[in-house]
């Protein structure tokens, strides 16, 4: 079955709304995760730390430049994700519609490319391949 990533994107306003009722949002998210586990579709789910704790590595110049967060003029920030193993894009969208989200936030649904879709080029070491096989990634 294909894998789909549900990418949580928020604005300053939607993130502020989320924080205003964080206990209810956390409870709703916990219920959503339980539903995906019971349905057997959840592979992973993670939230990210506040943007002011991150850094940006900018490759637009001759050498990479590292800048501490918070980020510059960003209208939407990637706040976390759910990785689902579902039968179709439509099923992924249906799950995305059920994600507890603050008003103004968005969920981007993207299919994860399979191993047969990425160039292998023979650069993977035997140890890397064995590690991926041991966790079912091959």
pLDDT tens for 70-84 read 666 667 788 899 999
CA distance 108 to 110: 6
Q: What is the mean pLDDT of residues 25-34?
A: 95
Average pLDDT along the chain: 86
Q: What is the mean pLDDT of residues 45-68?
A: 90
Q: Is the dihedral of CA 73, 49, 96, 86 positive or negative?
A: positive
Sorted by where each starts, the structural domains of the chain and their CATH numbers stand as 3-134 (3.30.70.1060)
Provide the b/e sequence for 86-122 (b: ≥16 CB within 10 Å). beeeebbeebbeeebbbeebebebeeeeeeeeeeeee
Q: Report pLDDT digits (tens) over 85-135.
A: 999 999 999 999 999 998 889 999 999 998 777 665 555 555 565 666 666
């Amino acid at each position: 079955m294909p894998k789909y990533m549900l990418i949580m994107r928020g604005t300053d306003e939607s993130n502020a709304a989320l924080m205003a009722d964080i206990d209810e949002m956390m409870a709703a998210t916990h219920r959503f995760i339980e539903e995906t586990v019971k349905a057997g579709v959840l592979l992973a789910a993670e939230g990210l730390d506040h943007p002011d704790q991150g850094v940006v590595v900018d490759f637009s110049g001759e050498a990479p430049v590292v800048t501490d967060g918070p980020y510059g003029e960003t209208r939407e920030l990637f706040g976390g994700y759910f990785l689902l193993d579902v039968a179709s894009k439509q099923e992924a969208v249906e799950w995305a519609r059920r994600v507890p989200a603050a008003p103004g936030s968005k969920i981007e649904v993207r299919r994860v490319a399979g191993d047969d879709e990425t160039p292998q080029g023979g650069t993977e070491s035997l140890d890397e391949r064995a590690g991926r096989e041991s966790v079912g990634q091959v």
